[in-house]
Structure 1
Amino acid sequence: MKTGSIWIAALLVAMMFTTQGWCHGVEGYIDTVRAHCITALYDDGEPMSYAKVEVKAPDAKIVFQTGRTDRNGCFMVRADTPGDWRATVQDGMGHRLALNFSVTPEIDGKPAAPSPLSTANPSMSRPLKGGVALSIIFGLYGLLYGWRSRHLPKR
């Protein structure tokens, strides 16, 4: 019985002087912030899902952020330095999209001026490209046959 009492007393003393363990924990929160959403699409409107993205800060030698687009072709970046930034999206199959965007300095937590949404080169849709190509082909054949008919001997 004395041995059991000693162990219980020792356990109570040890429990009285225990401290919090020095381990690390994690915290998280969801916040609505002012960020830039990069959206990458193919020319037919299909999103570039899970494509590799690299974002470079102005005058930086290393990449600011890398990642992949989501299934909708979107990638978020919160740029922290004013200037002209560059985002490059590659799908691994030869398609590459390079976008530039400007970040303006903030005054009292509010942006000084709105930044342009994108500086991507706007392209024509597929049906419009096909129509332009057919127009050029018919136009060239029309010129060729018109020129040939002028230079044929008259009967």
Structure 2
Amino acid sequence: MRVRNICVLFCLAALFVVPPNIFGHGVEIYDLTSEDRAVQTIRFQYSTGESMSFAKIKIFPPSTAKNNVESLVSISDRNGIFCFIPDEVGEWRVEIEDGMGHKGSIMINAGPADQTPSSAPETAAGKLPLPTGIILGLSIILNIFAICYFMGRVKTGGVNAHQ
């Protein structure tokens, strides 16, 4: 009985101690380009708000975007910001990778100011959908209870120990 009580307290404590981003974090990318669209400015950050400092950046111009031939490889600054001046009109693909498994990309529409700006920021893999996170969390808690229950049964000698 004592083992079961300890397991219950452990599981309840785990609910309050586990950080909300235990499953990792994704990448958020923001196009900060001004109205004149002469200089493309992009901010890269993790979903926790922390900047993706000094992460590797690859830029694919419109003429080579389909061939995956990169025209430039660079890094973001310490604030996760990267700027470039496009020399071609069209959709540029910008990718970022921090070397620890976090990746993201965004399509930038470089051209005259009257063209529509690029789409909303993309987020990369790393975040679990809410229903999946809830199911996974409940599964972990139930598995801890099951392990504690069977550990208690083994210490008392099994099912027939009480007879």
Q: TM-score, normalised by structure 2?
A: 0.50
Alpha carbons 2:44, 2:52 under 8 Å: kept: yes
Aligned-residue RMSD, C-alpha: 3.3
Q: Partner of 2:98 in structure 1?
A: 91
Cα distance change of structure 1 residues 137 and 46 upon mapping to structure 2, 3 Å threshold: closer
1:71-128 CA distance string (max 9 Å, x none): 1001101112111110110001111111111122x3xxxx2224126441489x89x9
The answer to whether the 8 A contact 1:100-1:119 is kept is no
**How many equivalent residue pairs?**
102
CA contact (8 A) 2:103 2:124 kept: no
Aligned counterparts, 1:6-85, within 5 A: 34-60=38-64, 61=67, 62-85=69-92
Q: Secondary structure at the match of 1:134?
A: helix
| DSSP 3-state at the match of 1:100 | strand
Distance in 1, matches of 2:119 and 2:80, equals 16
Contact 2:37 2:110 in 1 (8 A): no
Could you tell me the percent identity over the aligned residues? 23
TM-score normalised by structure 1 residue count: 0.52
Contact 1:100 1:120 in 2 (8 A): no
Q: Give the number of the structure whose residues are more often helix, by fraction.
A: 2
Q: 1 or 2 for the larger relative contact order (CA 8 Å, sep ≥6)?
A: 2
- Map 1:61-140; keep pairs closer than 5 Å: 61=67, 62-104=69-111, 106=112, 111-116=113-118, 118-121=120-123, 129=130, 133-134=133-134
Alignment gaps of 5+ in structure 1: 1-31, 139-155
Structure 1 CA distance for aligned equivalents of residues 46 and 77 of structure 2: 14
Contact 2:58 / 2:73 at 8 angstroms: preserved in 1?
yes
Structure 2: which 5+ residue stretches go unaligned?
A: 1-35, 139-163
Q: Distance in 1 between matches of 2:102 and 2:133?
A: 22
Amino acid across the alignment from 1:116: S
In structure 2, give the amino acid aligned to 1:69: S
Per-residue CA deviations over 1:4-61 (Å, capped at 9, x if unaligned) read xxxxxxxxxxxxxxxxxxxxxxxxxxxx982111211111110110000000001315
| CA distance in 2 between partners of 1:63 and 1:122 (Å) | 20
- 1:101/1:119 contact within 8 Å kept: no
